[in-house]
Each structure stands twice: as structure tokens, then as C-alpha cells.
Homo-oligomer: A and B are copies of this chain.
Amino acid sequence: MNEKNFLSKYDSSKYSRPNLTVDIVILAIIDNKLNVLTVQRNEPPYQNKWALVGGFIDIEKDKTIEDSAHRKLFEKTGLKTPYLEQFETIGNNNRDPRGWSATTVYYALVDHNKINLKKGKSESNIKWSPVINGKTNQKLAFDHTKLLSGCLERIRSKTMYTTLPTHLMPEKFTLSELKAVYETLMEKKITTKSFHRRMLASNLLQDTGERKTSGRRPARVYQLKDNTTCYFSRNIGDTT
């Protein structure tokens, strides 16, 4: 039997397959606090519970899993070119009462000023939920609480040797503000000097010439030269 014959006779419905979904940990800084975007489900399972943004892959609309993540992110936030990265895929027979299901988890770091929240049909609400100690106030639907905390751990780790957190910043920001975001993600203070050295060495920041006065001495205001993420060969704040 040749390949063409095989494919014409292939009945893909005869095997039972897991459900495949996408979930996105959409993070933003609001009032210097870390927040994750959550939606309230208006259907079972977990009716009325809050959950991460996500849902089934639509094999008509989505050419790839990542497309699916982009689509869902766009539908909720209006963002077209976010920083989006895959975290991991979790699949098992007990995370969803409807049966065997797998979800591919992405994370997006966004500037919340650029966001226009818009709830979907199957949701009764959408909101930013503050993240404290790697958790939201309320337990999330499915295994989303665990997905969130694992994802935050990955981000914490990357924060130590990359410029990932820059994607959370507004267009213009000061080094103090950026440092505060690093410290939020790492849940740890870092030394000003090391931080300045590293950020300026990255050659990622453009001094706008402006000053921002939020206390006493006004701080230099920077903007990103581009949206790349720099990698360093040593960790910051890693006094283990």
C-alpha cells in the first residue's frame, strides 16, 4: 500500500484522543504590582471559577499551537506582537473532569497600558488578578494555580540572566522602575550598582534625555532600543 492510498483510507476518528488546549499566563505590572489576566468561566466545569486565559485549539482557525495562543491573547487584549514564549505542556487523565486533556502553557509579558480588555462569549468576566507569593487570591480553575506558579518559577529563573522583564515595561521608564520589576519577579532585592552596570552593558537602553521626578532627584528616562532579550553569562542576585 503506498502513502497516497494509506492516507485516503486513514480514518483519524477511530483513535480516541486527548483534548488539547492552550493556556496563557499573561502578566503585567499594575501600580508596581504583578498581575495575571484571568477570566471567569460561565460554564461547567468549574463554573464561575476564575481561570487563566485559554481554551481549545480550533483546528480550523489555528494553523499552529502558537497561533492559537496568539489568537486567544489578541481576542482578550487586542495585542498583536506580545512577548510570548512556551512554558510547558501538561497532560493527564485527571486535570479535567471531561477526560484526558493536555494543555500547552505559554506566558506573555505585556505593557498593561497597551491592553484593551474584552471578555469572550463563554466568559462572564475578565480581570487582572494580583499575584502574591506566586498565587492569585482565589484558587483558579483546573490545575491553573499550579501552572501559574510553575510558570512564575521559570520566569524568576530567566530574570536572573536575561532582560526578560523589560517586556513588562511601558514605553518609557527609569532604571529604578525596571529594578523594582526585577525585584518583584525575583522576590528578592538586588544591588543597584550591579543592576545599572548590567543594564547599561546590555546596550538595550536608549536615554531619552527626559527626566522623571517621582521623589527627590529626578531619574533618567530610558526606552528600549529594540525588543530583543539579552542573555548574560552570569546570574544576578544568586547568592545561594
Q: A19 — nearest CB in chain B belongs to which residue?
A: B17
Q: A5 — nearest CB in chain B belongs to which residue?
A: B44
CA distance A13 to B59 in the complex (A): 15
**Copies of this chain, count:** 2
Residue count of chain A within 8 Å CB distance of chain B? 44
CA distance A89 to B19 in the complex (A): 15
Say whether A2 faces chain B, with CB atoms less than 8 Å apart: yes
A43 partner, pick from B6, B16, B45, beta carbons under 8 A: B6
Stretch with Cβ within 8 A of B (4 or more), from A98-106, A163-171, A208-216, A217-225: A98-106
Say whether A132 faces chain B, with CB atoms less than 8 Å apart: no
A59 partner, pick from B57, B88, B93, B238, beta carbons under 8 A: B93
Q: A89 — nearest CB in chain B belongs to which residue?
A: B89
Interface contact A18-B15, CB-CB below 8 Å: no
Given the complex, which residues of B lie within 8 Å of A10, measured CB to CB?
Answer: 98
Q: Take A2-B44, A104-B89 as given contacts and tell me if A18 and B16 are in contact as well, using a CB distance cutoff of 8 Å.
A: no
Say whether A138 faces chain B, with CB atoms less than 8 Å apart: no
CA distance A160 to B161 in the complex (A): 13
Interface contact B56-A98, CB-CB below 8 Å: no
Say whether A240 faces chain B, with CB atoms less than 8 Å apart: yes
Interface contact A88-B86, CB-CB below 8 Å: yes
Given the complex, which residues of B lie within 8 Å of A91, measured CB to CB?
Answer: 20, 57, 64-65, 104
Q: List 9 A-B contacts (CB under 8 A).
A: A3-B47, A13-B13, A16-B59, A17-B18, A17-B57, A18-B20, A20-B102, A64-B91, A160-B233
